[in-house]
Structure 1
């Protein structure tokens, strides 16, 4: 596989997995995609999580913590050979030690869809790469004339037919349009059932972007950690070129601080961190990002006193920050992890941005009431 980290392909992010899927399709190589359809109880991954398996037995990503990997690989290779999608249910609550081995411990029932990586994936993969969310509807079980694996893709309220799959009838799509509307642009997954037909509603959203303004050495751990958790990263340096060989960003630019906004594409899916360590440059970048973009989050590195100095500088130039502006700013930036090493600071900041992008507060899970993840199961009832 062209993008696989051969030392640890299991750590692939959603961004990495999509890149590899596009690469395999372009190369005409056979592969299978395993997707979690539903979870009853608890499990390591949630509905919508995916794993990619190539014909040469390489795997990429994960749908469990590893306890079902061999079983999923066997199913995937059968799907690759037969070109027919399959659904499988693994009951890890019963934990049949003779079948699965000792102590799986996920304490849940997991339903998987394993399907060929065929031309039906081309349209949704291209759409999310272009920054457009799509909803993929796939029949996972059927007692009707609509065969398993039938697929329709929805984007901007328009149904898109795909190659290599039967189309889901319009009347069936219309019957669960409310579910599609709820799932679209949320990166969530639900299943719905009607007249013996079960359909997976899979919301695919573009990869979140992280814009880093700065050019000092501390941008390296920031970009590295951001890439490791799946952000698409861009570094914009206001003073001097950045050593591209040492900064693992997806793209890098150099230019005046006021040019930073030109690197914001889909604003609502972009998060920014200002960390040039130059007060004037930071002020210009902050002012530009607030006035010229609608990004939901802008982290500013430095202590409160420095941020107050930045705000005072804006006031002197008659550029007062509004309440709405301040609501988008995190200063000081980062979660309170207590570390002071450069990589610890980067981890604090990337963790906060990840929490914000997932609409979370970033607190300790042991203090959270209720389930860790939202329960997105059948449309008619929760898990």
Structure 2
């Protein structure tokens, strides 16, 4: 989500009476690639860009292609084959062993609905979103870059009735199964190829406790583009100067946590108040929430006291599923000692949790770094968290 925010901020800061722009989106990857499908880059006609579609090796050529797209006013898909070490199509042999399709679309800022405003709409969602984008087409009525999206109102909206009816059921299937895909559609007068993308909200970090060691956690989370909230029952702890990068500082008495604090399936909860009684009350109220991650600062024996109190005082038997969500002691084992190192350990563990990864050394990973479809070795960005949208049946 940080990339979306950065692109949107750059778009809003651009004077389109003087500048023109295009948006590049990775729509298909076969083999290895630095970025997964869904990665985006906003490019201006003066050579500036925001976001990325690779590790820096494709951006220069994409800028040249973007100028052509801006001049023609027509979207096009560019294919880069980085699998050949001796292929000098970009002036260098990349040797990344992948084939990457990039959709480049001209941006008309005068339109209320364009590729950037679509991203803005997804930023406002509080749930999973999905979009189907045509990136290959020889059908006159369905040009490249045509889309159908699944919005926060649980409706599918296509840029044409034909496309909406054609893709609606498959888009709902992607939502229900939470699996992106690429699909070909033969049509009477041609065919189209479509990228089905799941768009996940950014991580919502909720910190209970406004101590000095919470500050580096908020700063690092902000750097990653997460939404950061800090709450404490002591107003004196929530001094804005101590948490300049927090999105929200919310005082809340411990007994009102369940009532006043919002928790979603995209919320990571961190308990770091250094107050055992406070943590007991908070944990008793949030243990049954939708948060997929709950981290508790402190040694293992402290956590065991918390669990014992939940059983004996609050009569809460922690289920296996709930225990899987709780991380105590919090953080990855990186030898952290200082507040900044501990913050890195905490944030890294949360990232691993939301990505369904173990947090180990990549060198020891036996499979590919990115999730791949075994049939065609296609790379997809996966979503592992709970989908709040009600399942809908295809028509």
* Structures share fold, TM-score greater than 0.5: yes
1:131: how far off?
1.0
* 1:110 equivalent in alignment to 2:105: no
What does residue 254 of structure 1 align with? Answer: 251
In structure 2, C-alpha distance between the alignment counterparts of 1:370 and 1:75, rounded to whole Å = 34
Query: Contact 1:32–1:52 at 8 Å: present in 2 too?
Result: yes
Counterpart check, 1:235 vs 2:230? yes
Aligned partners of 1:258, 1:26: CA distance in 2, in Å? 50
The TM-score, its normalising length taken from structure 1, stands at 0.84
Query: In the alignment, which of 205, 213, 218 is matched to residue 213 of structure 2?
Result: 218
Whether 1:65 and 2:35 are equivalent positions in the alignment is no
Q: Which one of 167, 171, 189 corresponds to residue 173 of structure 1?
A: 167
Tell me the residue number matched to 1:151. Answer: 147
Is residue 348 of structure 2 the alignment partner of residue 355 of structure 1?
A: no
Could you tell me how far 1:107 is from its partner in structure 2? 2.1
Structure 1 residue 242: Cα displacement: 2.1
Does the Cα contact within 8 Å between 1:36 and 1:110 map onto a contact in 2?
yes
Structure 1, 73-82 or 138-147: larger mean CA deviation: 73-82
Distance 1:161 1:25 in 2: 28
Q: What's the CA shift for 1:54?
A: 3.4
- In structure 2, stretches of 5+ residues that fail to align are 379-395
Which of residues 278, 285, 299 in structure 2 aligns to 1:303?
Answer: 299
Residue 80 (structure 2) aligns with: 90
User: Structure 1: any 5+ residue segments left out of the alignment?
Assistant: 1-11
> How many angstroms does 1:264 deviate by?
5.1
SS of equivalent residue, structure 1 residue 169: helix
Could you tell me the TM-score, scaled by structure 2's length? 0.82
Q: Deviations over 1:243-269 (max 9, x none)?
A: 323421121112213444456546211
SS at 2:62 equivalent:
helix
1:120 paired with 2:114, answer: yes
Compute the RMSD of aligned alpha carbons.
2.9
Which of 199, 203, 209 is the aligned partner of 1:204? Answer: 199
Distance in 2, matches of 1:26 and 1:130, equals 27
1:43 paired to 2:33: yes
In the other structure, the counterpart of 1:31 is 21
Q: Which has the higher contact order (CA 8 A, sep 6+)?
A: 2
Is residue 35–residue 49 contact of structure 1 (8 Å, CA) maintained in 2?
A: yes
Cα distance in 2 between the residues matched to 1:66 and 1:352: 27
Q: Deviations over 1:13-67 (max 9, x none)?
A: 3353364277369989753221111112211111111112234433111111001
Aligned partner of 2:392 in structure 1 is none
1:274 & 1:95 partners in 2: Cα distance? Answer: 49
* Alignment partner, residue 80 of structure 1: 70
Native 8 Å contact 1:124 1:153 kept in 2: no
Shift of 1:218: 1.0
Deviation at 1:133, TM superposition (A): 2.5
**Aligned pairs for 1:256-295 within 5 A:** 256-261=253-258, 265=262, 267-291=264-288, 293-295=289-291
Q: Aligned partners of 1:215, 1:288: CA distance in 2, in Å?
A: 19
Cα distance between partner residues in 1 of 2:64 and 2:161: 28
**Secondary structure of 1:79's partner?**
helix
Moved more, 36-45 or 110-119: 110-119
CA deviations on 1:205-237 (whole Å, 9 max, x unpaired) are 222211111111111111111122232111112
